[in-house]
Structure 1
């Protein structure tokens, strides 16, 4: 009887070891979310205000008071806010306010890159700010002719500012905002 039990136990061990052997397990490669955005097509935006610019034809623009505009990207839950102010011997204050607005994000930002902008033929001078990190805004700019006109712009996403997650959308909207600044013309 003991011999029979030992034989059955050995047979079960052999069966279990035979059926338990599988191929080696390898970790799966990391996957990434693929976000494809259409190639931007730009159109000139003319208005009654003392400036014009080019904007993405897919964006939705809405006029606000005092020549301010909101340019929305509904699919990305993003909005560019444009504000216009006339210069009345207060260029220093306008510049300080624009810079202060950008540097209020330094608490959450990893760094802020300044990119000066100069278009002498159109008399457009300014600064484009690229804010990296989990700040509320990732791009801002101001543009002026130093005599009559001053425009500021900033982009905000209606999502938690997790820089890694919204990186493709921020890059897309940032390039549109930069194009807007570079095509700005005074009337």
Structure 2
């Protein structure tokens, strides 16, 4: 009986110590995909159109009709669309259309931040819009000299809008768009 109790006690102790020494099981913290993009290098983009600007040298520019341009980022699956319109006593309509285009995204947007831009030395005036949330575009702008030239720009990704997923790419391209807007000059 003592041998049986001693054997049973030893077995219980061995089982307890072998299972009792394991670490507590803890849930793993959430992980996030890290997207690192190369530091942007900017170069002057000059063409036969009425405006020139600096752009990211990793992007690809294609000219459309009437000095409209597309700036493509193949690695990020995104495109900036630039539209040029001459001002012919219709500046009010052009401004309304540009603002309307931005505020059409208010349904899906969490917030729209407006940043006015004024550069009297180059006669470039405009507005930069940062659209937060699951809207189709995350950044838009317009610039004008208010007498001859009007340019709008907006970025679109080739994916269903999910702000959290495209945030790193959207932030990178937003910086490029601001640089484009701030370096734009009329010819």
TM bracket (short chain): over 0.9
- Which residue number corresponds to residue 19 of structure 1? 18
TM-score normalised by structure 2 residue count:
0.92
| Deviation of the 1:15 alpha carbon | 2.6
What are the within-5 Å matches in structure 2 for residues 85-100 of structure 1? Answer: 85-100=85-100
What are the within-5 Å matches in structure 2 for residues 29-178 of structure 1? Answer: 29-178=29-178
Stretches of structure 1 that go unaligned for 5 or more consecutive residues are none
Stretches of structure 2 that go unaligned for 5 or more consecutive residues are none
| Deviation of the 1:41 alpha carbon | 0.8
Q: Which moved more, 1:124-133 or 1:157-166?
A: 157-166
Q: After superposition, what is the alpha-carbon deviation per residue over 1:149-171, rounded to whole angstroms, capped at 9, x for unaligned?
A: 10000001112221112111111
Paired residue secondary structure (1:129):
strand
Q: Which moved more, 1:24-33 or 1:61-70?
A: 24-33
C-alpha distance in 2 between matches for 1:133 and 1:116: 21
C-alpha distance in 1 between matches for 2:134 and 2:5: 66
| Compared CA separation, residues 157 and 110, structure 1 to 2 (3 A) | same
C-alpha distance in 2 between matches for 1:57 and 1:76: 14
TM-score normalised by structure 1 residue count:
0.92
C-alpha distance in 2 between matches for 1:166 and 1:63: 26
